[in-house]
Amino acid sequence: MAFPPEELLTGTRRALLHRLAVGQADGRTPSLVGAVVRGGHMVWTDGRSMIDDHRPDDDVQYRIGSLTKSFVAVLVMRLRDEGALELTDPLEQHVPGTPAGRLTIAQLLAHTSGLASETPGPWWERTTGALRPELADVLGEQPVRHPAGSRFHYSNPGFALLGALVERLRGEPWGDVLRREVLEPLGLTRTTLLPRAPHAGGFAVHPWADVMLPEPLEDTGVMAPAGQLWSTAADLSRWAAFLAAGDEKVLGPGSIAEMRRPASEPDGAEWTAAYGLGLQLRRQDGRVLYGHTGSMPGFLAALWVSEADDVAAVVLANATSGTPTATIAADLIRIVAEHEPRFPEPWRPLPEADPELLALTGPWYWGPSAHVLRLRADRALELGPIGGAGRGARFRAEADGTWTGLDGYYAGETLRVVRAADGTVSHLDIGSFVLTRAPYDPSAPIPGGVDPRGWQTS
């Protein structure tokens, strides 16, 4: 039975509003709106503004800048899941004739293509897209600044190329594809390429005086996939719920999980930021968040999801700079997680358990290294080291009687149950590693054999 989401406690709601109010005041922001999602539903939203007795609500549009990239990435992953492309394909295979043709789709999604961060001048975010009507206009004569695949280097033109990829394979503008294939199925009716009332105006706030300057609102044309979208706190709460759980109408949870894995090596053991396939990752307050931030002249945005806490947050502001929306959104998650920590799911027995699979559970040994095999739902298996040191993984059951590793060292590897001539289980084989019921069991085909003298004291 599905239960409606629990309302946040009064103290939690006040703490959330206080963080929003501090952000608006300290950031000298004309207006700021925030929302919190828990259990797939928006459970809190509020706003602050420079106008007395006025709070922007969750239906006011703000420009969301590079949060647009997460939408484009979902379109590309849909094409991959349909078999229309592979992430390893060079762009030239689908969009011929650009100087970036040898770069792969995965590299463009993960910002490891080596492309320049920005277009040739003038600055694309503050000028009309009519100045750059073609893809070649956003790339310039020498668009590649680093060897492909060698490092993370954020590239806005890279997502212009991905938008063109969607258009080429779908045969229509990427914005139309987005509306039909993503926005409408998810109920994001207030997410648009151009603003629709009610929407906020964008402002720059003077760094040394409390005065404002309106920012131009340009249609960025070919560069739109890098940062064109407008949205609301309500729509982005739905988007956060989708990024947390997936939706088979749009993109399944497996592909969403693939998007949020770091695509390039994070910077050091104490990393605070990384990037997946169209999604940013951030480590703050001891938790890993994923989502995306955004900025365009006059606007700032942030959306983070904490998988461990089952909490997401959205923050939107109409100022060019000065308001740390990414930090505020992370703080909203922290406040909910600390005030109202997530209840674990109640333990329940499996609905059924195959006796043959039950017989496989318990200790197994890779050489002298002790592991334990556990049975999970849907015939899944979980292997973990005893004592904390060693390789472990979850395994998905396949129709042919094998299992496929889902994470860790064994991700993608096959686990097989090998039987002796009499039908009894001889050993487990995981990608040529032999696991036996006893350390170096001499009756099993241990690579290199086992010394016939057995275990010795000296």
Segment 187-192 shows an average pLDDT of 98
User: Cβ of 376: how many Cβ atoms within 10 Å?
Assistant: 14
Q: Alpha-carbon distance 110 to 113, whole Å?
A: 8
Q: pTM of the predicted model, to two decimals?
A: 0.90
CB 100 within 8 A of CB 272: no
Strand partners, 352: none
User: What pLDDT does 142 receive?
Assistant: 84
SS3 of the chain: CCCCCCCCCHHHHHHHHHHHHHHHHHCCCCEEEEEEEECCEEEEEEEEECCCCCCCCCCCEEECHHHHHHHHHHHHHHHHHHCCCCCCCEHHHCCCCCCCCCCEHHHHHHCCCCECCCCCCCCHHHCCHHHCCCHHHHHCCCCECCCCCCCCCCCHHHHHHHHHHHHHHHCCCHHHHHHHHHHHHHCCCCCECCCCCCECCCEEECCCCCCEEECCCCCCHHHHHHCCCEECHHHHHHHHHHHHHCECCCECHHHHHHHCCCCCCCCCCCCCEEECCCCEEEEECCEEEEEEEEEECCEEEEEEEECCCCEEEEEEECECCCCCHHHHHHHHHHHHHHHCCCCCCCCCCCCCCCHHHHHHCEEEEECCEEEEEEECHHHCEEEEECCCCCCCEEEEECCCCCEEECCHHHCCCEEEEEECCCCCEEEEEECCEEEECCCCCCCCCCCCCCCCCCCCCC
Q: Alpha-carbon distance 76 to 330, whole Å?
A: 27
Q: What is the pLDDT of residues 290-347, one digit of tens each?
A: 999 999 999 999 999 999 999 999 999 999 999 999 999 999 999 999 999 999 889 9
User: Cβ of 194: how many Cβ atoms within 10 Å?
Assistant: 13
Q: Alpha-carbon distance 426 to 435, whole Å?
A: 9
Residue with tokens 């590079």: 66
Of 143, 64, 52, the closest CA to residue 316 belongs to 64
User: What pLDDT does 387 receive?
Assistant: 83
User: What pLDDT does 53 receive?
Assistant: 82
Q: Alpha-carbon distance 355 to 360, whole Å?
A: 9
Read off the amino acid at residue 355: P
CB 90 within 8 A of CB 102: yes
User: What pLDDT does 376 receive?
Assistant: 95
Q: How confident is the model at residue 271 (pLDDT cuts 50, 70, 90)?
A: confident
Both tokens of residue 137? 């206009």
User: What pLDDT does 4 receive?
Assistant: 53
Q: What is the pLDDT of residues 50-59, one digit of tens each?
A: 998 888 999 9
Q: What is the pLDDT of residues 87-126, one digit of tens each?
A: 999 999 999 999 999 999 999 999 999 999 999 989 999 9
Domain locations in the chain? 15-339, 355-435
Q: What is the mean pLDDT of the chain?
A: 94
156 backbone φψ class: left, alpha, beta (φ>0; ψ -120 to 50): alpha
Q: Which of 51-60, 176-185, 285-294, 384-393 has the lowest mean pLDDT?
A: 384-393
Using the predicted structure, report yes or no on whether residue 256 has a pLDDT greater than 60.
yes
Of 139, 162, 180, the closest CA to residue 72 belongs to 162
Q: Between the CA atoms of 419, 423, 426 and 430, what dihedral angle is there, to the nearest 10 degrees?
A: 30
Using the predicted structure, report yes or no on whether residue 65 has a pLDDT greater than 60.
yes
Of 375, 381, 384, 382, the closest CA to residue 398 belongs to 381
Q: For the chain, what percent of residues have pLDDT higher than 90?
A: 90
Of 214, 197, 215, 178, the closest CA to residue 75 belongs to 178
Fold of 15-339: Beta-lactamase (3.40.710)
Q: How confident is the model at residue 269 (pLDDT cuts 50, 70, 90)?
A: low
Q: What is the pLDDT of residues 224-241, one digit of tens each?
A: 999 999 999 999 999 999
Q: Alpha-carbon distance 334 to 312, whole Å?
A: 10
CB 294 within 8 A of CB 64: yes
Q: Alpha-carbon distance 87 to 283, whole Å?
A: 26
* Omega prior to 122 cis, within 30 of 0: yes
CB 360 within 8 A of CB 373: yes
Using the predicted structure, report yes or no on whether residue 67 has a pLDDT greater than 70.
yes
CB 277 within 8 A of CB 41: no
User: What pLDDT does 2 receive?
Assistant: 42
Using the predicted structure, report yes or no on whether residue 3 has a pLDDT greater than 50.
no
Q: What is the pLDDT of residues 193-209, one digit of tens each?
A: 999 999 999 999 999 99
Residue with tokens 């060698």: 150
User: What pLDDT does 52 receive?
Assistant: 87
Q: What is the pLDDT of residues 126-145, one digit of tens each?
A: 999 999 999 999 998 889 99
CB 174 within 8 A of CB 163: yes
Q: How confident is the model at residue 407 (pLDDT cuts 50, 70, 90)?
A: confident
